[in-house]
Structure 1
Amino acid sequence: MTSAGAGQSGDIPAIPRGTILLDADGTIIEWSPEAERLLGHRPQEMVGRPLSSLLVRPDPAAGPGLPHAPPHRGGCLVHLRDRTGQPVAVEWWMCPRPAVEGPATWAVFLAPTRDTYPCEFDRAILDALLTESPVGLHVLDTDLRLMRFNVASPGMRGVPAEGVVGRPAREVAPTVVTDTAERLMREVLSTGEPVIDFVQPGYPPADPHDEHVFSLSAFRLCNPAGEPLGVATLALDITERHRYRARLELLNDASMRIGTTLDLARTAEELAETAVGRVADAISVDVLDSVYRGEAPEPGPVPPEMTFRRTAFRTTGAAGLQPAYAVDEKASYRFPTPLTQCLADLRPRLIRKVEDGAWLAHDQLRADRIHAGRVHSMMVVPLAARGVVLGVATFYRSVTSAPFDDGDLTIAKELAAYTALGLDNARRYTREHTAALVLQNSLLPGRLPVQNAVEAAFSYLPGHAGGPWYDVIPLSGARTALVVGDMAGHGMRAVAGMGRLRAAIHSLAALDLAPDEVLAHLGDLVLELAAEGHPATANDPLEAQPTTATCAYAVYDPVNRCLVVARAGHPAPLLALPDGHVVPADAPSGPPLGSGGPSFETWETELPEGSLVALYTEGLVGGAPEDSANVARLRRVLAQQHTSVREACDAVIYAQLSGRTEDNVVLLLARTRVLHDDQVASWTFPSDPAIVATARTLAERQLASWGLSDLVFTTEMIVSELVTNAIRYARGTIQVRLVRDRSLICEVTDCSSAAPHLRHPRTTDEGGRGLLLVARLTDRWGTRRTRRGKTIWTEQALPSSAAGIPPATPDAGQVS
């Protein structure tokens, strides 16, 4: 047993220990709960017993067991019997407790033994933390001066202690201990609340030329009285983890930001916006000039003489690098350079140190820009997709001190892959868009047909190649059909669908069907087109078959000034009257063609001469409803007085469109004309064979008054055949009408709805030659239904010597 004085009290371990109080004779007078837990004896069992009764007698063969000297550290090692009689090794300390009166008592302290003494264990932990731990440990005093640090940490490895200990942490690592970090440590000192995982980039003293990212944690150090002594910080270098996470975020951003449009230039700009500031200080993107035209380059390497177009260039404000070529400028690469080598084998080039490159001598212009911009590292990456090269992206570093490495090259290749895919999609779209525009223009009328019913003009502004169309179709009886429609969708299929609809409209118009019937047949055709195209395009969303269309169809008759309108999901035509009022052609809006639904209805009105009829697509008013401000502005422009329809058409475009629109815009304007009484002659006869001669005579007199004596013979034959057929096959009155327009029109109307049939009789047949004769004597002939029956009409060309032919101003059109 040893006695520990005041100077040895620090050797008593700071762990739970049993306390026993002995009187002067060694009898136990107090037994603590800790002693009970250590040995199992209860206080009531031990008080009054000598402590020596618990001592385990030493083995006689081992000697007397009395130590020759006190232990160097800790207490004496003794063995005491527990409550079960088993020996327990404990460490023993003993010190006297003098009394004011009477004999002194003795305090005995017992503690369990360890293989390693506590002080040595604690010192080993402290030594490991300050010399071997990969985690940076820094101990600061209350003034945030560095007092201890881990010499093995990555940020302080190799830094001599005598040069930094005692200095403010802000001076030791100014880029790491920033204002924010210093404020957080002072808050830890004042509040005692620890800071965990505060991310701080900076340049540590052990590596002042490369930026590292640290995860900092801090907690307060206090003395036993709870007074602050300083702050301990733990710094974990997470640079690689941070870079890996940043690269994942960059690639994720690239997947969402690059290729969002089908525009070549915008796709290249998206690459530059994504990469500059995160991968490179500057970037240039060059695209093959042929790609701009939608052409697909040949697979494999690209020869150096190929022409490129600078598509994008971007730099940080501090880089100061000037481009060798301006955006949209065309150029070829000098040979040999990393750019030509990259295109020769389709592999990227990583140039860690630009100043070491002999290739700069082969491209002096680029070399001058690189030297002036202090570029020290660069990467050249081909933009290839689907087996073809589309361009090259070049990444530069001038402000960032670290050169590009293999990790940066991997990121650049990923960005290039995203960009190349977007460029190829844009190229394919450009090719299809160009082809679709060519096809669209070939399917639309370049100029409007000559006729006298209206003075017409149009403006067609193509945006995305799609399915809008317009038509002015001359009909029988000097009437004219006005048509504007729009096939849903964009691309080649929409254009092809538009062409089929336009051809169908011409065919239906030739049958002289009413506007509502024309739309009904068109709706059936669109349904058939959708059914035909669905199986072929089910797996190709970019080439989806258009399934609906809108259309407005109007027929104007210059004889009775009647306008008949029907529409299928299309904006209502506007009617600008000569008095300045503008009203809509309030035809019921039927469903879009191909969508089914109720039948179409017609709307009729009588227009004064000189009225302006406006048909248009939604692109002219931005898809706005009919009560919107855009439509109101259109009405104000139409209400103005214009010297010509062409002038009115231009005025509408100037007012409605502030810039180039992506929507297709079609505007068709028609100013109505009237055929006056001196150009029309009409007679009504009873169904009597005797009136045939009368009809011929009246027709002869009318032609003579018009100066068309050259057409008397053929016209008499036509009138005679048609009136005779009407008397033979129909009942009721018969009407004969002659119209002198750009041709001589002869019409016979009866009450029968049965259409005549042109036959080709044999030489032995006694009849069936009437309509065949009519067909041979006329330029055109046909049948149209009327409310009371049918009308058979014919047209004959006027002789060139005829005087007073009504003029027809050539209809104007404009395609932009």
Structure 2
Amino acid sequence: MTMNHAHDTHSGSASQESLSVSDAHPSGSAYVFADLAAAVLDGRGAVVRWTEAAADLTGFTAEEVCGRPVHDLVAGPTDELHRSTEMPESGRVRLRHRSGDTIDVAFRTSAVEGSAEFLVLAAPAHHVSDHQQGAALLRALSSQDGITIALHDTDLATVQTNAVLGTLDGRPVRPGTRLCDVLCAEDAESLEAVLRQVLETGVPVIRRNQEVSWRHDPARQQALSLSAFRLEDARGRPTGVVALYIDNTDHMRARRHLDLAGKVAEQVGGSLDVVRTAQDLADVLVPAFGDLVAVDLVQSVFDGNEPPKQVGVEDLNLRKTAHAPATAVWPAGIRHGEPVPFLRDHPIHWETGEAVIHDRDDFVALIGDPQLVEYLVPEDAHSVMVAPLYARGLTLGAISVWRTGRPDPFTEDEGDLMTQIAWTGALAIDNARRYTREHRAAVALQQSLLPPATTDTPAAETAAVYLPAGGGADIRGDWYDAIALPSLRLALVSGDVVGHGMPATATMGRLRTAIQTLADLELEPDEMLTRIADQVQRLMAEAPPDHHDVVGATCLYAVYDPVTRRCAIASAGHPPPVLVRPDGTAETVGIAPGPPLSISDMPYETTTIDIEPGSVLALCTDGVVERRDHDIEQGLRYLTDALAASCRPDRALDETGRAVLADLAEQAPRDDATLLLARTRTVPAEDTARWEIPTDPAAVSEARNWATRQLTTWGLDDLLFTTELIVSELVTNAMRYGRAPVELRLIRHDVLVCEVTDASSTQPRLRRARTTDEGGRGLFLVAQLGARWGCRHGQNDKTIWSEQLIECPH
């Protein structure tokens, strides 16, 4: 600031002299003494000079006070200003104002060298108190560790700062320094934009977080929390900006570590695939934690087996599993699935489970072998942190994090974080390993419980396609079956058990076994489903109370007779079959579906249809026809159209099944999808013979003669004797215990089937006759002479049959 003095030319007119302070100030600097009043007193205490600020303070002009004793302006005792020799150096006093009020001021005096005059400086007492408190506050803040205060003028140049050597960038910060002299250009420009906005608007900025790099050391970064306020003079004019920079590096590092740990917990473990989980762990650490990450797992983990609990270096058997980023340039030797080279002095503390940190030189010295160094150490890597993947007492593998681009090495707190991350990742990998073990066991169990995918019988050739839920990620209880029945007939089964995993697989196995057992009784389809429903009720009763609602199944049971070319079908809540005729036309078979097997005391209905030879009957589970974008009815129409387009006589059934389910496989269905295809055959008319037996005791002899003639015609002379005995015994029993009409039928294929049907429902019983019994040996002889025998019941009749093997079938 500049001070101008106006002197009166008459020495006796000192009262007319005044001291004025110009408002002019250097550009960009604040005029901070606008309220400071000044006066000059002579040795007697009279006013010699009077400034404009003094006039503004008291309301009296220089003409009114110059030449008068200063005590005339004082309200109250004036002893302390009575004599110049007693003039105090400082104090407080109350002055009169021209308006009649009083003003509390603080003053300070100073003798003028070479004269008896005194210079008196005064300001309102509350302004002085504010200044003192502000100075005390500034000193207190300036003395705090981690807080840097910078006063900037209106040009944002530094006026004053407590930054000392090492506070900011290792160099002292002098007045006039700008942010671009200390920080990198981009960071300085960003901070100056914030300070300029505060200067222009007066709106403060509170705790704005920003990471900055130093101009002389761009690789070194520091996190700052900036708070900035505009400075104003007593008249409200902007004079600059005060900025408080709080070193937030440790807090921000801890926050990033916490965020990274949370990100690992959130993003790792969503997959139950071991390799995918390892890759997720690697991906989440780049670039947040390191530049290159590699995950190696013990070989047994891939198979779902437990690795050795006591791990020695020779027992590791690690294999490369995952790395990140995918575009990184790794040593030439790294390949997924390859074994990791044996290291006798491995850099991992397997016993403690803690992460260890090495610089490149120490790591290279630890490995020793130059070829292994080339294999294991990425180019340009300067620091590595390795940790074991240890969970539930098992060492599953290891994780390595390398830094190449960023210059800062790993710190101890990052090592602690790595230990925690490795433990979290190891738990996720172990969960995936356990799932893999259970999944493989369920798949193996299910595969062992399912029949062969293809069969070839006199009634039909069959092929089944099974598509597990989620592309194999889940196992449920869908099943299919093709059961060869007596008299060349074939039972086709399609079922779906409620639930998934091992329980569903086990339930499926029990139901399939029950159906196979009951199939030997040759029950009608509706009766078969009723018996199976009873079995499901027993399973529900055995299950825990909270699992009753997850025990249940749907099922479709069909029996095809290649002699009559008829198929009997019954459904328990299962999708209906689709019939594709030889001419390529297809339709859904109209059946009356009953309730699912979990609902008892409800009847089932059998539907019988005629099937042309060469037709394809398709049985499916709801996973084939029920999708996200349409209902079951639409799904059945889709399946019908797909089968009509794919089923051709010259195309293998298994190929047809895969083609039909091809697009479904791409969608990873939510439920198992099972498709069973059966291309029907027929027994030629010349291979069957039927004779209605008259109700005459002599008919037994006639039946033997008729059977003999028919076998002679077929060229089966070697079976004449046994067949005559079998026919004689079966017809005799029918005549004795059954009711008319009685019918004898012979069927020739790879076996010779002999059937006798009568209108009685009496169940024949095989027993061993005593030596004194005259009868009771008939069925015993039939069982001994044939390969097998049995009895089946129709709605109004029963049939007793016997099969004999034909050594050289036609």
> For the superposition of Structure 1 and Structure 2, which TM-score range results when normalised by the shorter chain?
0.7 to 0.9
Alpha carbons of structure 1 residues 333 and 531: separation in structure 2 relative to 1, 3 Å: farther
User: Greater shift after overlay, 211-220 or 172-181?
Assistant: 172-181
How far apart in 1 are the matches of 2:452 and 2:101? Answer: 119
1:714 aligns with 2:722: yes
How far apart in 1 are the matches of 2:805 and 2:381? Answer: 80
1:681 aligns with 2:698: no
Q: Residue 240 of structure 1 aligns with which residue?
A: 250
How far apart in 2 are the matches of 1:614 and 1:335? Answer: 61
Alpha carbons of structure 1 residues 595 and 420: separation in structure 2 relative to 1, 3 Å: farther
After superposition, the C-alpha distances for 1:173-220 in whole angstroms (9 at most, x for unaligned) are 236845443333332232222222221111357986532211212222
After superposition, the C-alpha distances for 1:518-553 in whole angstroms (9 at most, x for unaligned) are 223223323433443538x98xxxxx9962333332
- Structure 1 residue corresponding to 2:639, chosen from 631, 639, 658: 631
The percent of aligned pairs where both chains have the same amino acid is 38
In 2, are the aligned partners of 1:151 and 1:158 still within 8 Å (CA)? Answer: no
Q: Residue 90 of structure 2 aligns with which residue?
A: 73
In 2, are the aligned partners of 1:285 and 1:392 still within 8 Å (CA)? Answer: yes
In 2, are the aligned partners of 1:135 and 1:153 still within 8 Å (CA)? Answer: no
Q: Residue 21 of structure 1 aligns with which residue?
A: none
Give the deviation of 1:307 after TM superposition.
Answer: 2.1
Give the deviation of 1:264 after TM superposition.
Answer: 0.9
Q: Residue 347 of structure 2 aligns with which residue?
A: 338
Give the deviation of 1:787 after TM superposition.
Answer: 1.6
How far apart in 2 are the matches of 1:475 and 1:172? Answer: 93
1:508 aligns with 2:518: yes
User: Greater shift after overlay, 471-480 or 434-443?
Assistant: 434-443
Give the deviation of 1:366 after TM superposition.
Answer: 4.7
Which runs of 5 or more residues in structure 2 are unaligned?
1-14, 22-31, 38-71, 107-124
Match of 1:583, SS state, is strand
Provide the aligned length of Structure 1 versus Structure 2. 727
Alpha carbons of structure 1 residues 93 and 161: separation in structure 2 relative to 1, 3 Å: farther
Alpha carbons of structure 1 residues 119 and 583: separation in structure 2 relative to 1, 3 Å: closer
Alpha carbons of structure 1 residues 406 and 361: separation in structure 2 relative to 1, 3 Å: closer
Q: Residue 403 of structure 1 aligns with which residue?
A: 409
Alpha carbons of structure 1 residues 710 and 126: separation in structure 2 relative to 1, 3 Å: closer
1:269 aligns with 2:273: no
1:571 aligns with 2:565: no
Q: TM-score, normalised by structure 2?
A: 0.80
1:468 aligns with 2:478: yes
Q: Residue 419 of structure 1 aligns with which residue?
A: 425
- Structure 1 residue corresponding to 2:380, chosen from 374, 378, 381: 374
1:521 aligns with 2:515: no
More RCO (CA 8 Å, sep 6+)? 1
Match of 2:314, SS state, is coil
Q: Residue 82 of structure 1 aligns with which residue?
A: none
Give the deviation of 1:744 after TM superposition.
Answer: 1.5
Alpha carbons of structure 1 residues 130 and 652: separation in structure 2 relative to 1, 3 Å: closer
1:92 aligns with 2:104: no
Q: Residue 753 of structure 2 aligns with which residue?
A: 745
Q: Residue 585 of structure 1 aligns with which residue?
A: 589
In 2, are the aligned partners of 1:525 and 1:594 still within 8 Å (CA)? Answer: no
After superposition, the C-alpha distances for 1:346-405 in whole angstroms (9 at most, x for unaligned) are 443422432244634524245336776222221111111111111011111122222111
In 2, are the aligned partners of 1:11 and 1:73 still within 8 Å (CA)? Answer: no
In 1, are the aligned partners of 2:467 and 2:665 still within 8 Å (CA)? Answer: no
After superposition, the C-alpha distances for 1:487-511 in whole angstroms (9 at most, x for unaligned) are 3444444333332222211111111
1:768 aligns with 2:776: yes
In 2, are the aligned partners of 1:276 and 1:316 still within 8 Å (CA)? Answer: no
Alpha carbons of structure 1 residues 199 and 744: separation in structure 2 relative to 1, 3 Å: same
Q: Once superposed, what is the RMSD of the aligned Cα atoms?
A: 3.9
- Structure 2 residue corresponding to 1:691, chosen from 699, 703, 708: 699
After superposition, the C-alpha distances for 1:744-792 in whole angstroms (9 at most, x for unaligned) are 2122222222212222232223332222222222221111111212111
Give the deviation of 1:738 after TM superposition.
Answer: 1.7
Give the deviation of 1:481 after TM superposition.
Answer: 0.8
How far apart in 1 are the matches of 2:220 and 2:724? Answer: 105
How far apart in 2 are the matches of 1:213 and 1:647? Answer: 64
Alpha carbons of structure 1 residues 441 and 356: separation in structure 2 relative to 1, 3 Å: closer
Alignment of 1:652-667 (within 5 A): 652=660, 657=665, 665-667=673-675
Give the deviation of 1:591 after TM superposition.
Answer: 3.9
Alpha carbons of structure 1 residues 591 and 143: separation in structure 2 relative to 1, 3 Å: farther
Q: TM-score, normalised by structure 1?
A: 0.79
Q: Residue 603 of structure 1 aligns with which residue?
A: 607
How far apart in 1 are the matches of 2:226 and 2:448? Answer: 70
Alpha carbons of structure 1 residues 184 and 157: separation in structure 2 relative to 1, 3 Å: closer
How far apart in 1 are the matches of 2:478 and 2:325? Answer: 43
How far apart in 2 are the matches of 1:250 and 1:450? Answer: 60
User: Greater shift after overlay, 658-667 or 262-271?
Assistant: 658-667
Letter in 1 for 2:800: I
In 2, are the aligned partners of 1:449 and 1:474 still within 8 Å (CA)? Answer: no
In 2, are the aligned partners of 1:13 and 1:118 still within 8 Å (CA)? Answer: no
Letter in 2 for 1:571: P
Match of 2:290, SS state, is coil
In 2, are the aligned partners of 1:585 and 1:603 still within 8 Å (CA)? Answer: no
Letter in 2 for 1:672: T
In 2, are the aligned partners of 1:348 and 1:379 still within 8 Å (CA)? Answer: no
Q: Residue 312 of structure 2 aligns with which residue?
A: 302
Alpha carbons of structure 1 residues 131 and 785: separation in structure 2 relative to 1, 3 Å: same
Letter in 2 for 1:139: L
Alignment of 1:350-361 (within 5 A): 350-357=356-363, 359-361=365-367
How far apart in 1 are the matches of 2:319 and 2:338? Answer: 6
- Structure 1 residue corresponding to 2:504, chosen from 485, 489, 494: 494
1:555 aligns with 2:559: yes
In 2, are the aligned partners of 1:782 and 1:792 still within 8 Å (CA)? Answer: yes
How far apart in 1 are the matches of 2:377 and 2:792? Answer: 82
1:456 aligns with 2:462: yes
Alpha carbons of structure 1 residues 608 and 130: separation in structure 2 relative to 1, 3 Å: same
